[in-house]
Each structure stands twice: as structure tokens, then as C-alpha cells.
Structure 1
Amino acid sequence: MTLYVVARVTEKQIADSPAPTRPSDAAVGSRPAKSAGLLFGIGAYGLWGLLPLYFITLAPAGPVEIVADRVLFSLVVCFALIAVMRSWRALGTAFGNGRVFGPLALAAALIAVNWLTYTFGVLNGQAIEAALGYFINPLVSVLLGVLILKERLRPLQWAAVGIGTLAVVVLTVAYGQVPWIALILAFSFGFYGLVKNRVGSKVDAVTSLTVETVVLAPLAAGVVVWLAAAGTLTLTGNGAGHFWLLAASGIITATPLLFFGAAARRLPMTTVGLLQYIAPLTQFVLAVTVLGEHMPAERWVGFGIVWLALAALTADMLLVSRRRRTALRSRAA
């Protein structure tokens, strides 16, 4: 997936963690704090939305090398953050706790699939389908909650899942095949969020990301060595500019994550939930206008149905949030 990948994974963990500084839907911070949180949130999702432009500049590197380099350079940034935050003890505790390390190792595998699929889609002229994957991801998360966590859906949530299923059928006809890239992205990130949710508040976002990158680092290093032996590694053979563009992937992975963390601690989660659509919408617009991908009428119909499903899901989220605030005010009164 896109960097947006790593971060949105940790974003799920941050959003669900009971950090005392993160406001609830009923208890929001001051106006300046909310304004700052909104800027941080727009910055995080805006940067994730611009990822396709970044990946295009990395040519002639292929998706496998990009992901491998991203893992290795992200690890450097993660260790730097751990050092600044003096979180070595927390990192050691995470590695020593099987109930934390096991799920994070699985999450690492899921995010690797997500990153690789997203990068492949963008570099092969299928950024629109990649954006579709993140549009339907909220619907997949709701579906996984029913199938795996045995959650009970409200009527609007059922409607959203039903409409989303119809959209996949329409888009399958429009594409002439099942939109595998979108589905792999949606389900890999959906399961990723599910696994991270199980870890819960046992590990903070930076430590979690560091463990995942450590798990992936040996494989990434092996890929780099293999590409170098095959004479196809571009990291060191295409000039200093290309090298530093790839090296920047570590910071590009970490920065939106930190912005998201700052936003999640200042904004109600309903607001954060609405902001999440900025990233796939930006990616979609870039794919159509800048990357020049074709959108025939039948695909517009399919995307329209997806957006209708998301509208139903958003309406449900806003209604539930409103009822919760009303109930809390009544109790306070």
C-alpha cells in the first residue's frame, strides 16, 4: 500500500487507545486545540493522498524495491524516534511479550501485502482502483466486525454493507474482472486494523510501527541484496537524487503518522472518521487529472454507488455520535 498504509494502521491503534489526552465525541478540547487538530488531521490525510505522486518520482524503481527500501529507511526513522522518546524499555517489553509481538508480526505481514499491492497499482496505471480500495475499506471493517467479532450492525450499517456489495458487482462488470487490487487493499488493511485492535493499548504507535518494521527488515534487506546481485537495484545506481528520494520514504512514512497522532488527541473521533476520506479522494482526483487514468461511464456509476454506501455509513456515525452527546448531556444535567 501506500505509506498511508503504515500510518493508517497505527492510526487505528492510536484512535482506539484510551489516551487521556484524546477527546471523546462529547468532551472536546478548546477551540484552539480543535483548530490545531483539524490542521494536523488534514495534513496527515492530505500527505497520504499525495503518495501516488511520490511513488511516480521513484521510477525506475519497481514496487518490490520501493517497499523493501521503505521498510529499511522507516526502520532508521523509527529507531531515531524511539531514541528521542526514550522508549527502548517499551520496545524491549513489546518484543518480550508474545501476546504483543505475535499480533504485531502478523500485522507486519498484512501491511507488507498492503504496501506492495498499493505501490504495484500506482506504478502500473491503476491508481484509481487503488483509491477504490481505501474507499471501501470502512465497509470491509464493518463486515469483519460482524463476521469475526460477532458485532451487531445497525440498520444504516447493514444498508451501507449491502450497497457496497452492489458496488463491487457493478465495478466487476465495469472492469471486466474482479477489482483485485482494490479488494486486496481493503481486506489486507481491514485485517490489519483488526489485528492492531486486538493489541489495543498494550503498545504505543511508534513502538508498534518499530516492531513491525523490525520484523520486515530481514526480508527487506534480503530483497535489496538479491536485486543488487541481479543488477537491477536502482537505489545506488541512479544518482544521488534517486537515492535520497528513496531514503525520504522513512520520513514520508513517519510524518503523517505523527500528524495523525496529534489530530487524534485533539479531535472527536467522528471528525477523524470524516477526515479519513480525504486520502482516497485525493488519490482518485490525482489519478484522473494528473496521471491521466481513464474513467468510463460504468466506472463512475460503480464509484457513485460506493460513495452512496459511505454516505450511509457516515450518516450512521454522525447519528450515533449525536445520540451519545445528548445522553451525556442528560446525565450531566
Structure 2
Amino acid sequence: MTDEVKGVLAMIGACMIWGLSGIYYKLLDAVPPFEILCHRTIWGFIFFLCVLKYQGRLRVLPSAVSTPRAFMIVAFSAFIVSVNWFVFIGSIHAGHATEAALGYYIFPLAAVLLGAMFYGERLGTMQLVSVGLAAVAVVVLSVGLQVGPWVALVLALTFALYGALKKSMITGPVLSVTAELAMMAPFAIAWLAMTHLRGDGHFGADFVTSLMLAFAGIMTAIPLILFSYATRRVSLATIGLVQYLNPTLQFLVATLIFREVFTMWHAIAFGLIWTALALYTAASLRRGSAARKAARAAGTSGTVI
């Protein structure tokens, strides 16, 4: 099995965990979303500490926040990803899993827009059209349902902003996520301590719930590790294509398992988003192919005969 195949399988594994995670959090619907978030943070932090210890990199963890700028980026990333996780868990509990799926479909287009805003990345014609179609989809859903698709927008924008912040980090994904969780962990511990002192905590109430709350942290860590493994072995174009498996599974879970209402307005909005993603993906593949041809041509022209 080649490294590329291993990378694709790792990416598929990560997307399957992300895409099916809604089922897991639905089973914990008796636990408030913020309590789940706190356990996800604490147990994820412990798991990542074990990973770094196994890798022999635990001593380099402070390097992720070694400068004031790095500290601020990690702190803001921690806040942004916490908001993203909380809104996703809350959307599952509140019966808005379909909107969550829409948010993760919109995410690549939101990331393109933020890349242009923060990093000066130029948008091609098809990318502009794709972003425009996504905007139309949001308007259609807002007018049709007479309420803004806030879950989708918050998930798309927070995850896109999180990706933009990650791009400015010099540390790898495992190290940076561990640093983010380290910043969130004290707040999570304090909140859980107060919750249990009031007698409202669910951890320890029964074995199954306690085990599921603890495993939420591991379920957070494993796809991130798989994603990191994949990005080192597979092209970004392939990563971009495979990652659509995540919102597709979320969408199927929402409509087929959770039986959420799927209106005509949802159908129109999703159709626009899928069209936008098809145009965006085709443009990305063409650019990647053109870049590879240009690189080969440059290599050939530089050959001395």
C-alpha cells in the first residue's frame, strides 16, 4: 500500500468520524452542550498530552506560545474552535443537524473568502461565482424559513477563521491543538467543578454516560491526528475533495436518522451550495494541473543538455 493510499484512507477515516459524530452527541442529549464541551476539552487535552509524551515531544509544548504573538493566536484559536464545537453540539441537541451540515458545506467557500481578505489570495472567476452562489443560498434559506441560518453561518465562519489562524502558526497541528486545549482546560475544569458542587454534573452519575463523556475527548483527537497524517501524504486537491464526505454524512444522518424536516427552501439552498462546490472544485483541480505542468516545463527548460 502506497503512502498516498494510506493518506486517502486516513482522510476518509477522519471525515467518517466527523460526519457520524452527530449520532454520538445525540445519544448524550440528556447532558447540556456546554458540559459536553468541557469534557471534550479536558479529555482531549489529556489524550494529546499522552500522544506528545509517546512522541517524545512533550518538552516542546511551551514553544507553541513562546512569543506574545503566538500566545495571542493560540488563545484566539482556542476561543474560536470552542465556539465551533459548542454550536455543533448544540445544533444536534436542538434538531438543527441539517443546518450544521450546510455550514460545513459552506466552510470551503468561506475559507476562500477569508484567504482573500487576510492573506491577499487572489480569487479566480469560478471562485467568485462559487462564493456568490453560497451567498444566494443563505439569502434563499433566510427568506424561505423567515429566519437566518445562524447555525450554518457560525459553523462555516468559525471553522474558516480557525483555518486562517492555523495558517499563521509555525507549530504542527498536534502541538498547536494541545496548546489550545491547554488554554481551555482550566476554564472547563472550573466550570465542571461548580456544576458538580451544585449537584448538576452528569459525570459519575452512571457508567455509560461517564464513559461517553470521557471518550468525547478521544473522538476529538483521533480525526485530527488522521487529518494531520493525510495532509503529509496527499495533495491538497485530494484533501479538498475527500473532506466533502464529512458534511455529506452529516446531511444523511440529519435527514435519514434524525428525520429532520427538509423543506423546498433547504433543497434550493443545498442545490446552490452543491453547484458552487462543483464549480469551486473544478477550478481548483484545473489550477493544480496548470501549476504542475508549469513546474514540469520549468524543470525541463532548466535542464542542461
**TM-score of the two chains, using structure 1 as the length reference:** 0.87
**What does residue 166 of structure 1 align with?**
136
Give the aligned residue type for 1:272: I
Does the CA contact (< 8 Å) of 2:65 and 2:74 recur in 1?
Answer: no
Deviation by residue 1:210-247 (Cα, 9 ceiling, x = unmatched): 1100100111112211221232211121x111111111
| Aligned residue pair count | 300
Farther-moved stretch of structure 1 (256-265 vs 313-322): 256-265
How far, CA to CA, are the matches of 1:194 and 1:95 in structure 2? 17
Q: Which runs of 5+ in 2 are unaligned?
A: 301-305
Q: Secondary structure of 1:137's match? A: helix
Across the aligned residues of Structure 1 and Structure 2, the Cα RMSD in angstroms comes to 1.3
Is the CA contact (8 Å cut-off) linking 2:107 and 2:157 kept in structure 1? Answer: yes
2:160 alignment partner AA? G
| SS of residue paired to 1:203 | coil
Q: Which residue of 2 aligns with 1:4?
A: none
Q: Pick from 276, 284, 288: which aligns with 1:309?
A: 276
Aligned to 2:303: none
Match of 2:187 in 1: 219
Matched, 1:234 2:202: yes
| CA distance in structure 2 between the aligned counterparts of 1:230 and 1:289, rounded to whole angstroms | 38
Query: Any idea what SS the aligned residue of 1:84 has?
Result: helix
- Aligned with residue 275 of structure 1, among 242, 246, 249: 242
Residue 245 of structure 1 aligns with which residue? 212
Cα deviation digits, residues 149-181 of structure 1 (max 9, x gap)? 333211111111111111110111222211011
- 1:253-292 CA distances to partner (integer Å, 9 max, x unpaired)? 1111111122112211110110110101100001000011
Distance of 1:271 and 1:191 partners within structure 2: 22
Match runs of 1:180-199 below 5 Å:
180-199=150-169
The correspondence for 2:66, drawn from 87, 96, 120, is 96
Spell out, residue by residue over 1:104-133, the C-alpha distance to the aligned partner (whole angstroms, 9 max, x if none).
111000001111111100111000001111
Q: How does 1:263-302 map to 2 (within 5 A)?
A: 263-302=230-269
Structure 2 counterpart of 1:35: 5
Q: Distance in 1 between matches of 2:113 and 2:198?
A: 43
Matches within 5 A, 1:56-75: 56-75=26-45
What is the TM-score when the length of structure 2 is the normalising length? 0.95
Moved over 4 A (4+): none
Whole-Å Cα distance in 2 between the matches of residues 41 and 195 of structure 1?
A: 21
Q: Distance in 1 between matches of 2:186 and 2:79?
A: 13
1:163/1:309 contact within 8 Å kept: yes
Unaligned runs of 5+ in 1: 1-30
Q: Secondary structure at the match of 1:266?
A: coil
Quote how far apart the aligned CAs of 1:32 are.
1.8
3-state SS, counterpart of residue 148 of structure 1: helix
Q: Is the 8 A contact 1:101 1:211 kept in 2?
A: no
Report the CA distance between 1:99 and its aligned residue.
2.5
Matched, 1:141 2:111: yes
Instruction: Give per-residue Cα distances to partners, 1:44-95, cap 9 Å, x unaligned.
Output: 1111101101101223111010001100101110110111111123212223
